[in-house]
């Protein structure tokens, strides 16, 4: 305890005026309260003092409000946090005639009331009969640190971490004392690291050079943006040639720390680029892998492949319309449905058009292009030309925060995983099933397979259906990443072709590696060249690559590979 007051008074330039002391007192109150809250539940007597303190809030006098906040904290009631939070957010009102306090949500001209004593619904009322309890900067600050100390005692480590970060945003004597009190009892590593970072940032203001030096060393390698800003401020030369930090040693240590931070930051930036590239590559692989099957096995260019993806994306949309209560599950339901829808359309295309055109690949290209135009127009007629909103399920939103400089958004992560699953299933189907065996046989030598009794027509239809179905599944993934509109397919078709051609036809591993490397290269070029130029450069590189290796990265070997 003495340690705390030492630090408090050691803050340079902070003269302990009456206001300061009052705030400090509140800080203590908050601390006591935290301990008290953990120790025992609210009793009846506290309920009365809580009610009285609430009544004191119904005033226009800020000093009185501040006192009332102190009383609320003293009361150690279970609803204190909710009331303070409501006060901070401006949703605390009092009734004009009897000065009773309510938490209220505004609905047009009326208020929906919540009784703070019981947290139960108290009906709706005319807004004009109520007055909002306003706050000023001073009060808000008090409230914030009071709330933060509440949250610091929360059993959930994430809430505690958020509270520490909130305190760090406006470090002052109160927050420092709150943090220091928590430091020793904190069990969670992440929270403890955050607390020591916060305290070290506060120590940078110490009058003692040794304390500052220790703080700088503590901050070395920290990825907290605030730590970076403060350290940079220390070594920035002012116009008159002086530094904010008078001590040479501390400055040097700060420079070293900044250097270290820079290294870590660029390391994580590289990681992030790599991850973005892999997720972009996964999208490309998903889009291209169905194409790789039809192109590789049947030597057929399916220009409607992009539109089959579009069908998959629209299937997701329709499924969400059908089950609006279960958005989370809708995406999972959409995967098999999209496979069936796109696969079914694929089989129709194969049976209706393509089978008449085998041996004429260039004409297949034209016919399927015609199909793609018709599919686009059908979608435009049914769903209009506007983009359709596809909701992202809650479990896909948000991001996985690895540290302050590196986070992974869940939707990108899931795309990578999803692609790997699809890839694995396809490999299994092609390598381990009887269908897969026949597909590979037809791909290698159609005439020979036929004479061995493989029904090539049947294999063709199923292969085309499989490839199209995968396109539909890719569409489900795309619906979570881009706009779902009639042009969705067109924007991916050229990329998909490039992936297939780059990877080598008839080789799924080639498609995987080709797609992933294209994604990473594209993402790596983007910061230097911009998104569009990066894409152009990749296209040009690919065109040149195909000149060197006309059959792609992993060309099909054997006699059948020649044309």
Partner 1 sequence: MQTSHPAIRLLAGERGTQVFLALLLTVGVAAPIMHLAFPEGSALHLSSYTMTLMGKYMTYALLAIAVDLVWGYCGILSLGHAAFFALGGYAMGMYLMRQIGTRGVYGDPVLPDFMVFLNWQELPWFWHGFDMFWFAALMVIVVPGLLALAFGWLAFRSRVTGVYLSIITQALTYALMLAFFRNDMGFGGNNGLTDFKDILGANINAPGTRVALFVASAVALGLGYLACRYITLSRAGRVVQAIRDAESRTRFIGYRVESYKLWVFAFSAVLAGIAGALYVPQVGIINPSEFQPINSIEIVIWVAVGGRGTLYGAVAGAVLVNYAKTYFTATIPELWLYALGTLFVIVTLFLPKGVVGLADKFTSREPAARAVTA
Binding residues for partner 1, rule: CB under 8 A, are 295, 299, 301, 303, 353, 356-357, 359-367, 369-374, 376-377, 380-381, 490, 494, 497-498, 501, 532-533, 535-536, 539-540, 542-544, 546-548, 550, 563
- Shortest CB 212 distance to partner 1, Å: 48
Torsion of CA 274, 275, 280, 282, to 10 degrees: 110
Cβ distance to partner 1 smaller for residue 424 or 536: 536
Residue of 365, 370, 369, 385 whose CA lies nearest to 314: 385
Cβ distance to partner 1 smaller for residue 194 or 301: 301
Helix or strand run (H / E) with residue 468: helix 456-479
- Shortest CB 507 distance to partner 1, Å: 15
- Ramachandran region of residue 95, left (φ > 0), alpha (ψ -120 to 50) or beta? beta
**What is the CB neighbour count within 10 angstroms for residue 528?**
9
- Shortest CB 287 distance to partner 1, Å: 15
* Longest distance between any two alpha carbons in the chain, whole Å: 99
Cβ distance to partner 1 smaller for residue 70 or 506: 506
DSSP sequence for 99-113: --EEEEEEETTEEEE
Cβ distance to partner 1 smaller for residue 90 or 370: 370
- Shortest CB 96 distance to partner 1, Å: 59
Cβ distance to partner 1 smaller for residue 203 or 495: 495
Tell me how long the chain is.
563
Cβ distance to partner 1 smaller for residue 315 or 376: 376
- Shortest CB 562 distance to partner 1, Å: 9
Cβ distance to partner 1 smaller for residue 462 or 498: 498
- Shortest CB 447 distance to partner 1, Å: 19
Q: Round to whole Å and give the CA distance between 347 and 344.
A: 5
Cβ distance to partner 1 smaller for residue 405 or 542: 542
SS (H, E, C) 515-530: HHHHHHHHHHHHHHHC
Cβ distance to partner 1 smaller for residue 208 or 381: 381
- Shortest CB 514 distance to partner 1, Å: 13
Q: Round to whole Å and give the CA distance between 321 and 317.
A: 6
- Cβ atoms of 290 and 311 within 8 Å: the answer is no
- Shortest CB 460 distance to partner 1, Å: 17
- Shortest CB 370 distance to partner 1, Å: 2
- Shortest CB 477 distance to partner 1, Å: 23
Residue partners of 514: CB distance under 8 A and separation at least 6: 288, 499, 500, 502, 503, 504, 552, 553
Cβ distance to partner 1 smaller for residue 214 or 546: 546
- Ramachandran region of residue 241, left (φ > 0), alpha (ψ -120 to 50) or beta? left
- Cβ atoms of 94 and 57 within 8 Å: the answer is yes
SS3 state at 92: strand
- Alpha helix positions (H), 170-208: 173-185, 189-203
> Could you tell me the two tokens for 161?
């971490």
């Amino acid at each position: 305890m003495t340690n705390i007051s030492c630090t408090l008074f050691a803050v340079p330039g902070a003269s302990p005026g009456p206001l300061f002391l009052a705030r400090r007192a509140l800080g203590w109150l908050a601390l006591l309260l935290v301990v008290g809250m953990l120790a025992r539940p609210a009793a009846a007597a506290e309920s009365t003092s809580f009610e009285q303190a609430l009544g004191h809030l119904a005033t226009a006098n800020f000093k009185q409000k501040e006192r009332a906040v102190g009383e609320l904290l003293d009361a150690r009631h279970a609803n204190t946090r909710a009331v303070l939070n409501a006060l901070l957010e401006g949703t605390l009102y009092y009734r004009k005639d009897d000065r009773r306090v309510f938490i209220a949500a505004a609905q047009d001209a009326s208020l929906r009331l919540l009784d703070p004593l019981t947290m139960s619904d108290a009906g709706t009322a005319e807004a004009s009969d109520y007055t909002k309890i306003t706050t000023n900067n001073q009060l808000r600050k008090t409230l914030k640190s009071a709330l933060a100390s509440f949250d610091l005692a929360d059993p959930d480590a994430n809430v505690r971490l958020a509270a520490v970060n909130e305190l760090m945003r406006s470090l002052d004597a109160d927050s420092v004392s709150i943090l220091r009190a928590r430091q020793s009892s904190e069990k969670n590593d992440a929270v403890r690291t955050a607390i020591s970072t916060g305290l070290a940032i506060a120590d940078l203001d110490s009058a003692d050079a040794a304390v500052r030096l220790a703080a700088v060393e503590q901050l070395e390698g920290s990825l907290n943006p605030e730590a970076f800003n403060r350290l940079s401020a220390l070594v920035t030369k002012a116009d008159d040639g002086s530094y904010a930090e008078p001590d040479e040693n501390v400055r040097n240590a700060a420079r070293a720390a900044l250097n270290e931070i820079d290294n870590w930051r660029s390391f994580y930036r590289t990681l992030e680029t790599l991850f973005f590239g892999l997720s972009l590559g996964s999208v490309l692989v998903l889009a291209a892998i169905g194409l790789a099957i039809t192109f590789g096995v049947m030597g057929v260019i399916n220009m409607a492949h992009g539109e089959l993806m579009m069908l998959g994306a629209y299937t997701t949309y329709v499924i969400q319309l059908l089950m609006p209560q279960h958005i989370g599950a809708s995406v999972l339901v959409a995967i098999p449905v999209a496979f069936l829808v796109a696969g079914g359309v694929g089989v129709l295309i194969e049976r209706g058009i393509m089978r008449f055109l085998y041996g004429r690949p260039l004409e297949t290209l034209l016919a399927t292009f015609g199909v793609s135009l018709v599919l686009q127009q059908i979608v435009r007629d049914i769903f209009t030309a506007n983009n359709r909103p596809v909701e992202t399920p809650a479990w896909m939103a948000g991001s996985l925060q690895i540290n302050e400089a590196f986070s992974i958004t869940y939707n990108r992560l899931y795309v990578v995983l999803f692609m790997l699953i699809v890839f694995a299933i396809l490999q299994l189907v092609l390598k381990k099933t009887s269908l897969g065996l026949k597909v590979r046989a037809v791909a290698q030598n159609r005439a020979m397979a036929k004479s061995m009794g493989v029904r090539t027509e049947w294999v063709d239809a199923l292969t085309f259906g499989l490839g199209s179905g995968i396109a539909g599944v890719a569409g489900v993934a795309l619906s979570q990443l881009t706009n779902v509109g009639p042009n969705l397919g067109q924007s991916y078709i050229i990329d998909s072709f490039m992936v297939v051609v780059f990877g080598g036809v008839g080789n799924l591993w080639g498609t995987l590696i080709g797609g992933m490397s294209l994604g990473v290269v594209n993402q790596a070029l983007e910061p230097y060249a911009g998104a569009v130029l990066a894409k152009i450069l990749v296209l040009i590189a690919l065109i040149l690559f195909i000149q060197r290796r006309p059959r792609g990265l992993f060309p099909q070997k054997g006699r059948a590979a020649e044309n």
